[in-house]
Structure 1
Amino acid sequence: MGTVANLRQPLLVIFAIVCAILMFFGGADLVHMRSFKRAWDLGHIAAFAVWSLLLLRGWRRLATMGVVTQVVVVVLLTTGVGGAVEIAQGAVGRYPGWADVEHDILGSLLAIFFLFPSRLQLHLGWRRMVQVAILGWLLLALAPVARALVDEWDMTRAFPVLADFEAPFELERWSGNARLSIDHSIAASGRASLCIDLNTARYSGASLNYFPGDWRGWQWIAFSVYNPDPQPIRLVCKINDHQHDISGCRYADRFNRTFEMHSGWNRIRIPLEAVATAPQGRRMDLSRISEFNLFAVELPQSRQIFLDWLALES
């Protein structure tokens, strides 16, 4: 037991150093699954739990203070250090997220109320109440990972359908400069479609960012668009692969095609051979498709469209 106790501190120090390195190097890439990206962000919880534990153990004066004082001091330090880490990450080209500071604080509270002996100063009832609250916060932090895992399972089962808007968390696959919502009044298939409220920005539309990206063996990418207005609307379909994402996102290095959507339902089918041969000077990698985008350009007024049944076909 003594040997284990002697090893515990060096192992914590090593883990703390590794966490510090991973704050600035490594991490989720554009091609990683959404669940991995969200789980990676939760690394802040583990990092600050270990750092706070080492702080409490190494700062003897703080270790002898009451648990309330420890909470105040550690949370203030965590907020300052966490904020500095986010600023530093932005300076080195990573994406700072102030929600990470909340995870930092959660990690520090886990260390104080679950790992450090001073927690025993609190009355058992109060201690259990605080611990339940912290565990509830932890479950909320884990919820996005759970949602991503469920949706990734739905994506795998539905393939070659890429989007039909019937799955509970499907909207989280999409982003864009438009208001996006699931609509249950209009559908090309099933019970729902994606309502896209286009605005008058230069580019306004929806982008599918998470989906099975290996399109080899299929001949077409097809989708349905409903235009509720009598006036037609021109929409651009953009498709690109991972190589495009990491090499400057040049216009000539992706598939771009404009379609005119008439009133009512429009079914669009695009040959994947046309997608593959669209980039100038190379062939698009159909095994690593990373984005499907549908958008309007400089609309004179806001418009609404509905997207449904995006699928690969042979």
Structure 2
Amino acid sequence: MKKGILLVNLGSPDSPEPKDVKKYLGEFLMDERVIDIPYAARALLVKGIILKTRPKASSEAYKKIWWEEGSPLIVLSQRLQDKLQQQIEYPVALAMRYGRMTIKKGLQELVDKGVEEVLLFPLYPQFAMATTETITVLAEELRLAHFPNLKIESVPAFYNKPDYIEVLSNSIKRHLEDKNYDHLLFSYHGVPERHIRKSDITNSHCKIDKSCCETPSKAHEFCYRHQCLEVTRLVGERLQLKEGSYSTSFQSRLGFDPWLLPYTDRTIERLGKEGVKNMAIVTPAFVSDCLETLEEIAMEGQEIFHEMGGQDFTTVPCLNDDSEWVALLSKWIKTWANSKTAIL
């Protein structure tokens, strides 16, 4: 069977203008795995409230980080696709969960090239309902409806794979080797606490307390919180970071429901108040820089830190099209293509 690869990232508006941002946010926020409440309530919240106010503010944020080539997330994902294609013989297509670069178009592109077996690669190290799950569920729906003869295998979360931790750690070390920082903050995209409980396949393990993520359980296979904390722990060990010199937080909360704690903005504020003068921040929930890293962290986070008396605020770029990251993806894909075993 001819094999092909479909890389899938989050997506982006067509432009930073309010009308395009509104269209994008409407598709994104109406996803039942992003805002997981009954349809009527979700429609009222999104269409009746959020889309009447948020697009303008989000448009201004996008304008701050938009590149001449387009959306940074799209451009960086395309660079990754191009570099990966140079290293493997199998067709590599790129799709986005939301926006014009649909998963259906990506699958069709591969099918048109004669591909019969697709490796679906969600570009997320950790599993979450609103990222990996929504991609794999939609891909299966599309397969059944439009590509019944296509075989699709999905890449599972790779947050704890030694070679991934090595690549991530090397990137952090390289970008901070000439920086003097007092604290390294690992900031992950936040999710509502109820997402953690809904993803608990044991229906009993996840308490979202100080112990459940450290207690071995089958629930960890789909526990976003555990997987984030584990990345921090593994990178901390590999880089031999001193206890107390690094920590974990969660960003980008929406609404009034309980989200994962601690919040990134408040953590940055606290560190500044406590006298930290030089801090660095890395965002390992993303493999491509985007609005959440370039504006929310690099701009808003830095402003908060300076307001609290901080001095140097260093952001570590995502892996993007880093050569070691491309080489690792190439290795994983070749392993999948040349054997009957799972990719990871």
TM-score bracket, shorter-length normalisation: under 0.3
> TM-score if structure 2 supplies the norm length?
0.23
Higher relative contact order (CA 8 A, sep 6+): 2
Greater share of residues in strand: 1
Q: Which of structures 1 and 2 has the bigger CA Rg? A: 1
